[in-house]
Amino acid sequence: MHDGSGLIAVQNLTKQFGSVTAVQNLSFTVSPGSVTGFLGPNGAGKTTTLRMLLGLVKPTSGTATINGRPFHQLGRPGRVVGAVLEAQGFHPNRTARNHLRVYASAIGVPDAQADQVLGLVGLSTAAGRNVGGFSLGMKQRMAVATALLGDPQVLVLDEPANGLDPEGIAWLRNFLQSFARMGRTVLISSHLLAEVEQTVDQVVIVSRGQTMYYGPLEHLRQQQQRRVFVQPSDVGALATALREAGVQALEQLPDGRLAVSGMDAKQVADAALRAGVSVYGIQEEQADLEQIFFRLTSGQFAGHAPAPYQQQQGGWA
Amino acid sequence: MGDLVQAELRKTTTTTLWWALLIPTVLVALGGGLLSGLLGQSIVEVFSSSEAEQLSDALGVTPDQWKFSLLGIGRTINLATMFPLIFGALAIANEVGTRTITTTFLTAPSRVHAMAAKMMVYALWGTIYGLAIIGFTALGIVLTSNSGQMPDAGGWAMLTLVCVLSSILMTMFGVGLGALIPNSAGVVVLLIMYFLVIENALQLGLRIAGVPETAVGFLPNGSVDGLTGSVAVDLFLADAGVVPEEGVYWLRVIAGAGGAQAWWLSGLIFLAWVAAAFGGGWARMTQKDIT
């Protein structure tokens, strides 16, 4: 039987579909009590990884466990892990309530649970309607309701924000956070960091089937070297002064400004004053997680990026 | 396991397919029964006319005791069990099509458990369809012929047994094939074409090619037809008195048991086909990556 820890562990997971390597030697763990974002561009192997974790796809090598056990050894998996998968289906001619009752009996929970989860996702009024007539957002809510039927300890969601309206996304965010605060585990995949930035505590960033970063979101934010853009009266004099002050990373931008790394705006302005250089404008760059995410994952399709984009990227390096 | 069986049962009762297919099943059974009764009755009346009676007296046979409607019962069951076959075929094919198979596998302890629960529920549905088929076929015959055309209680019991067996096996054959070819439209068209056209053409080809008649009884439709057809012919012969050997051959062909083995052997042969289809489907579904 499983250990009830709520821990997700992926170790050296690899999946080969014919000649295509979807996931390559992927490792990470997800702890209970937090929402972990599983991020990567489309085709990075996120869905395949989640499906291997859920026993739907057989790994070529490596292991994926929930509560210390592979999915098929969980006993009553519906009570341990609930999953919202992108392609999760519904019979179009089955009502929402009946759909949930079918799986309530499979999981072994009372029928009343079906109405309870419908209420939880805000679909009580649509309980008697056929799911075939639901909007994409309603279907996503239905998928969440199905995942919650067994009151699971672990929730795995694959791109759950797809099709949800802003209200739905806000609801999902609050729901997942309170779910995690109860000491449960949430793993949520997305190809947009911005989409989950406000929801997740930690992130696993994958690209080309490999882990690029794994840790708290806060550390990632701190990793970002802030830059200061300054427009001086004399670029050469300020550059010399800054180099003397120990700044190594200096770059002149095409618009005549200097990009300074390793100093904040105040230090740059002080250096300019000491060098007798006028400052016409100064700007501190905000840490942009999306750009870090971009940098971590851009390798995947680097060969196809248009030239201007490459230059811009080069400026960051 | 009981939970999964209940879940599978609910899957079948919460959509319209079970009665959408039960209606034509009942209509075919009733229609077949009415037709069998009418034809059986008219044949006996023809044979009972004075001229025919002289001929049959000369041959030493008693055609007025021939229960021709029995042969129609065999044929009716064969045709009506096409519907439970389709019902079975859609069991897994539909789940793969609507992608509910993902949730099915996510909520079951293992795929083997999910498949086993499905097998039990569809065996139950096979029984329900089988009982409906024999019930409405019998009703059709009762409405159109006199008691002389009907089998006795033992005969009815035997027909009920093989009808239910045939219906269960056809349903299971469908479930297996639907798992092997998880495409709703594809598997339904294939099964209908095979049972109604392809195998009949194959049987004809085998007969023309001079292959021994018994080969037909080893084919899927030949064997499942033999299961019910052989019982119908046996019951016919039990009450028929003397029937010439050539006559028996034609009786078997009419009843759908041409070239078939004894009913129980035919049943075992079809069971082997079911096991092959089900085993193949089972293996495929337990190994398949659900992407």
Question: A residues 109-128 near B, CB within 8 Å?
Answer: none
SS (H, E, C) chain B: CHHHHHHHHHHHHCCCHHHHHHHHHHHHHHHHHHHHHHHHHHHHHHHHCHHHHHHHHHHCCCHHHCCHHHHHHHHHHHHHCHHHHHHHHHHHHHHHHCCHHHHHHHHCCCHHHHHHHHHHHHHHHHHHHHHHHHHHHHHHHHHHCCHHHCCCHHHHHHHHHHHHHHHHHHHHHHHHHHHHCCCHHHHHHHHHHHHHHHHHHHHHHHHHCCCCHHHHHHCHHHHHHHHHHHHHHHHHHHHHCCCCHHHHHHHHHHHCCCCCCCHHHHHHHHHHHHHHHHHHHHHHHHHCCCC
What number is the ipTM of this complex? 0.86
Q: B100, B107, B118, B291: best mutation site toward chain A, by most A Cβ within 10 Å?
A: B107
Mean pLDDT of A272-296: 80
Q: Which pair of tokens denotes residue A276?
A: 């007798």
Determine the Cα–Cα distance for residues A3 and A74; give it in Å rounded to an integer.
10
Which of A5-14, A194-203, B171-180 is the least confident region?
Answer: A194-203
Q: Which residues of A touch B288 (CB under 8 A)?
A: none
Domain boundaries, chain A: 8-221, 225-284
Q: Of B7, B104, B290, which is closest to A57 when you measure between CB atoms?
A: B290
Share of chain B above pLDDT 90, in %: 54
Q: Which residues of A touch B4 (CB under 8 A)?
A: 105-106
Question: How many C-beta atoms surround the C-beta of residue B179 within 10 A?
Answer: 30
Total domains, chain B: 1
**Distances, alpha carbon B28 to alpha carbons A9, A204, B190, B192, in Å:** 57, 60, 21, 15
The answer to whether B25 and B86 have CB atoms below 8 angstroms apart is no
Find, in chain A, the residue whose alpha carbon is nearest to that of B287. A58
- Where does the pLDDT of residue A236 fall: very low under 50, low under 70, confident under 90, or very high at 90 and above? confident
Answer whether A55 touches B (CB < 8 Å): yes
Task: Convert the pLDDT of each residue in B257-287 to its tens digit.
Answer: 777 888 899 999 999 999 999 999 999 998 8
What is the reported pLDDT for A298?
A: 67
Determine the Cα–Cα distance for residues A192 and A169; give it in Å rounded to an integer.
13
Which of A67-76, B48-57, B181-190 is the least confident region?
Answer: B48-57
What is the reported pLDDT for B56?
A: 63
How high is the mean pLDDT of chain A?
Answer: 84
- Where does the pLDDT of residue B55 fall: very low under 50, low under 70, confident under 90, or very high at 90 and above? low
The answer to whether A44 and A208 have CB atoms below 8 angstroms apart is yes
Find, in chain A, the residue whose alpha carbon is nearest to that of B10. A102
* Predicted confidence (pLDDT) at residue B61 exceeds the cutoff of 70: no
Strands A250-252 and A258-261, by their bridges, are: antiparallel
Determine the Cα–Cα distance for residues A100 and A115; give it in Å rounded to an integer.
8
Nearest to B28 by CA among B86, B99, B67: B86
Mean pLDDT of B189-202: 92
Mean pLDDT of B105-124: 93
Answer whether A132 touches B (CB < 8 Å): no
Does domain A8-221 fall under CATH 3.40.50.300? My reply is yes
Nearest CA to CA, how far is B241 from chain A (Å)? 55
What is the reported pLDDT for A315?
A: 35
* Predicted confidence (pLDDT) at residue A43 exceeds the cutoff of 90: no
- Where does the pLDDT of residue A309 fall: very low under 50, low under 70, confident under 90, or very high at 90 and above? very low
Task: Convert the pLDDT of each residue in B228-265 to its tens digit.
Answer: 988 888 888 887 766 777 778 888 888 887 778 888 99
**Distances, alpha carbon B203 to alpha carbons A68, B82, B208, in Å:** 57, 18, 9
Mean pLDDT of A277-300: 75
What is the reported pLDDT for A44?
A: 82
Q: B1, B4, B92, B103: best mutation site toward chain A, by most A Cβ within 10 Å?
A: B103
What is the reported pLDDT for A314?
A: 36
Answer whether B105 touches A (CB < 8 Å): yes
Share of chain A above pLDDT 90, in %: 33
Compute and round to an integer the Cα radius of gyration of chain B. Answer: 21
Q: Which pair of tokens denotes residue A7?
A: 């821990």
The architecture CATH gives domain A225-284: 2-Layer Sandwich (3.30)
Domain boundaries, position B81: 2-287
